[in-house]
Structure 1
């Protein structure tokens, strides 16, 4: 029974955190127009 209560409390805390972050919204700012490099550039041919 204690495990069930602990799981319910943990789930409630996780949901509260998710809803709080959702309510606050994304951080202010702009995205970079430059593409991100995902690989190491090779030698130029």
Structure 2
């Protein structure tokens, strides 16, 4: 029972921060039309 109470107390601040982030007004943004290249290109022959 103590472990359950400790987990609830530990998760409470995390949930509050997530709620704060969700409620805050996020400025509109645009995504780039170009794809992101996340891998290293192979050797050119």
**Structures share fold, TM-score greater than 0.5:** yes
**Length-normalised TM-score, structure 1:** 0.59
RMSD: 2.5
**Length-normalised TM-score, structure 2:** 0.59
Instruction: Please list every run of 5 or more consecutive structure 2 residues that lacks an aligned counterpart in the other structure.
Output: none
2: CA distance, partners of 1:25 / 1:35:
27
Moved over 6 A (4+): none
